[in-house]
Chain A
Amino acid sequence: MTSRTTRTVSLAITPTTRDIPLAVRILVPTALGLALLGLWEILVRVLEVPKFVLPPPSLIGKALGDDFPSLLASLWVTLRITIEAFVIALAGGLLLAILSARSRLFELCLFPYAVILQVTPVVAIAPLILIWVGIDHLERALLILATIVAFFPILSNTTLGLKSVNPELNALFKLYGASSWQRLALLDLPNALPYLLAGMKISGGLALIGAVVAEFVAGSGSGTGLAWRVVESANNLDIPRMFAALALLSALGLSIFFLLVGLQHLLLRRWHESAMSRES
């Protein structure tokens, strides 16, 4: 009897995540966040930290409220560039991955340049693109830079997924005389889906980073996105507004991430190992 009780207790101390109800999994981190904000507010007030060093959350909230229309307009610019870059990277990466899974020669030609584009820091390419394109069309230059950053994970992940088909399933399709379209649609693409979704999760974050970094590099006066609001506020020592813009950027990044996690779960939950433990 005693040993059994002990065992139950020790199990209760180290529960796995799936034993925790969803409501608790959301409530606890939220409560922790609120408590930290409260602590921040109190400390800043008690220690009388100057607001241009670290403004209290209440002041940041106020700045967000006061400047909401202009910040929202900037958020929209950054969001639009991010989404466009992501969609172009997705479509382009998918297309090139399909082509390079089809043709070894195409893959051999494409990959060195894709890798060069990937390993060269975007900050270093940015001035060039900004001179070539950005003088007349700043947003287009930002879009190009964000796309370059977001593109590679889609390409490399999808290529891997398309090429890692079970050889016996391949033989099965051959046995039944599958056309190459049927093979692509019914075998290669479904097989690549988990890889593609993992790539999309990385790319979504990178598209935002690309859009922000590019705008930083683009520099003074020209930007209209959230990155520029951060720079502008820093220049004016309007630190609460800078924090407000930062908070919006984080919220944007988080939304993109959770949207893609949701999509991944939705598409894979019924068959893929990555989603298995959540269900069982």
Chain B
Amino acid sequence: MALYPESGGALGGVAVRPIGAVKPLIRIGGVTKTYSTGMLAVAKTNLDIGRGEFISLLGPSGCGKSTLLRLVAGLAEPSSGTIEWPTSDYDATGRPMPKLGFVFQEPTLMPWATVFDNIYLPLRLSRIRRNAATDRIRAALASVGLERFADAYPRQLSGGMKMRVSIARALVTEPAILLMDEPFAALDEITRFRLNDDLLKLFQAYELTVIFVTHSVFESVYLSNRVLVMSARPGRVIADLPIAAPYPRGDDFRTSQPYSEMCRVASAELHRAMGDANEEH
């Protein structure tokens, strides 16, 4: 059995809808977040995120990228403003129905559990029995190429393999949205490129919506259809750059003229973001 059995492949999943009528999947309306220390981590931010987008949050350290991601995931409450899911129903606790997958900067695996049990965790927490979950866990493992490591413990895996387990765990609930907080920051370049390509395959195969936090200009341009550049103190979005190149993307795109042009633009914006921060000191 495959993950997302209902998704109809390349053609079946295309919805025919007039562009203007499409509501955003996530609407961030005037959201601010002030921590109890008085730190204004996210300042009045407005943002619409459409279904099927791959969004990168690019910005210097401490500009509020993680905070924004945690707000979207419901792991932190905004100090003011709202985060709405216009196309979704809400469950009894007021949480939006579309399921979220969250990939942390560290693999964040339970060291006492096998790879299999780590991936089983989200299903176990929604009280799905082990037998009923096995097929989905196997499929999630296969989608990150780790079928043979189901019974391994995290400490027997390399850094890149642990990260893939973490991604499989995020995918096993068949989420519509994948939130990733610098998932590949700790990896070497070669592993990172490979996981970037794997991620794009999953993005296309499962028609995901992705919000991806990164420090890397190149990574953000390669992966996303929109790069949001953030600046610090207070954290806010200062540029919203569309990356028009179609998916699937590969080495052709990485060596193309538009790619290097977009990288140059994004770099310039990132420098502006860092300049903004410095002026305020």
Give the distance in Å from the alpha carbon of A173 to the alpha carbon of B155 in the complex.
21
A178 touches B125 (CB 8 A): yes
Chain A CB within 10 Å, residue with most, of B75, B111, B112? B112
B121 touches A168 (CB 8 A): no
> Would you give the shortest CB distance from B105 to chain A, in whole angstroms?
8
Among A121-129, A182-190, A245-253, A257-265, which stretch is in contact with chain B? A182-190
A175 touches B108 (CB 8 A): no
B110 within 8 Å of A (CB atoms):
yes
Give the distance in Å from the alpha carbon of A232 to the alpha carbon of B122 in the complex.
63
A174 within 8 Å of B (CB atoms):
yes
A113 within 8 Å of B (CB atoms):
no
Assuming the contacts A168-B106, A186-B124, asked whether A175 and B112 have C-beta atoms less than 8 A apart, the reply is no
Taking CB atoms and an 8 Å cut-off, the chain A residues in 99-124 that contact chain B are none
A270 within 8 Å of B (CB atoms):
yes
Contact partner of A175 (CB less than 8 A), chosen from B102, B124, B154, is B102
> Would you give the shortest CB distance from B213 to chain A, in whole angstroms?
14
Assuming the contacts A187-B110, A190-B112, A272-B111, asked whether A177 and B153 have C-beta atoms less than 8 A apart, the reply is no
Give the distance in Å from the alpha carbon of A150 to the alpha carbon of B104 in the complex.
40
B126 within 8 Å of A (CB atoms):
yes
Give the distance in Å from the alpha carbon of A186 to the alpha carbon of B123 in the complex.
13
Contact partner of A271 (CB less than 8 A), chosen from B95, B124, B153, is B153
A9 within 8 Å of B (CB atoms):
no
B100 within 8 Å of A (CB atoms):
yes
A77 within 8 Å of B (CB atoms):
no
Which interface class (under 10, 10 to 19, 20 to 34, 35 or more) fits A? 20 to 34
Residue of B nearest to A273 (CB): B155
> Would you give the shortest CB distance from B70 to chain A, in whole angstroms?
8
B74 within 8 Å of A (CB atoms):
yes
Chain B residues closer than 8 Å to A176, beta-carbon distance: 121-122, 125-126, 173
Residue of B nearest to A189 (CB): B112
A174 touches B75 (CB 8 A): yes
B93 within 8 Å of A (CB atoms):
yes
A271 touches B112 (CB 8 A): yes
B73 within 8 Å of A (CB atoms):
yes
Contact partner of A177 (CB less than 8 A), chosen from B95, B111, B112, B121, is B95
Chain A residues closer than 8 Å to B126, beta-carbon distance: 176-177
Assuming the contacts A175-B100, A176-B125, A270-B153, asked whether A193 and B106 have C-beta atoms less than 8 A apart, the reply is no
Chain A CB within 10 Å, residue with most, of B93, B110, B124, B155? B110
> Would you give the shortest CB distance from A280 to chain B, in whole angstroms?
10
Chain B residues closer than 8 Å to A272, beta-carbon distance: 111-112
A266 within 8 Å of B (CB atoms):
no
Interface string of B164-204 (1 = CB under 8 A from A): 00000000010000000000000000000000000000000
B110 touches A177 (CB 8 A): no
Chain B residues closer than 8 Å to A1, beta-carbon distance: none
> Would you give the shortest CB distance from B268 to chain A, in whole angstroms?
33
A172 within 8 Å of B (CB atoms):
yes
Interface string of B99-118 (1 = CB under 8 A from A): 01010101010111100000
A166 within 8 Å of B (CB atoms):
yes
Residue of B nearest to A182 (CB): B125
Give the distance in Å from the alpha carbon of A182 to the alpha carbon of B125 in the complex.
7
Taking CB atoms and an 8 Å cut-off, the chain A residues in 146-197 that contact chain B are 166, 168-169, 171-178, 182, 186-187, 190-191, 193
B121 touches A193 (CB 8 A): no
Assuming the contacts A166-B108, A168-B106, asked whether A276 and B125 have C-beta atoms less than 8 A apart, the reply is no
Assuming the contacts A171-B75, A172-B102, asked whether A177 and B125 have C-beta atoms less than 8 A apart, the reply is yes
> Would you give the shortest CB distance from B184 to chain A, in whole angstroms?
16
Chain A residues closer than 8 Å to B104, beta-carbon distance: 168, 171-172
Assuming the contacts A190-B112, A270-B153, asked whether A175 and B74 have C-beta atoms less than 8 A apart, the reply is yes
Give the distance in Å from the alpha carbon of A168 to the alpha carbon of B106 in the complex.
8
Chain B residues closer than 8 Å to A190, beta-carbon distance: 110, 112-113
Assuming the contacts A172-B108, A182-B125, A271-B112, asked whether A276 and B155 have C-beta atoms less than 8 A apart, the reply is yes
18 more A-B contacts (CB under 8 A) besides A168-B104, A169-B110, A174-B75?
A: A168-B108, A171-B70, A171-B102, A172-B108, A172-B121, A176-B125, A176-B126, A177-B93, A177-B95, A178-B125, A186-B125, A190-B113, A193-B112, A271-B154, A271-B155, A272-B111, A272-B112, A276-B155
Q: Interface residues, chain A, CB within 8 Å of chain B?
A: 166, 168-169, 171-178, 182, 186-187, 190-191, 193, 270-273, 276
Q: Interface residues, chain B, CB within 8 Å of chain A?
A: 70, 73-75, 93, 95, 100, 102, 104, 106, 108, 110-113, 121-122, 124-126, 153-155, 173
Closest 8 CB pairs of A and B: A176-B125, A168-B108, A190-B112, A168-B104, A271-B112, A176-B122, A271-B153, A178-B125
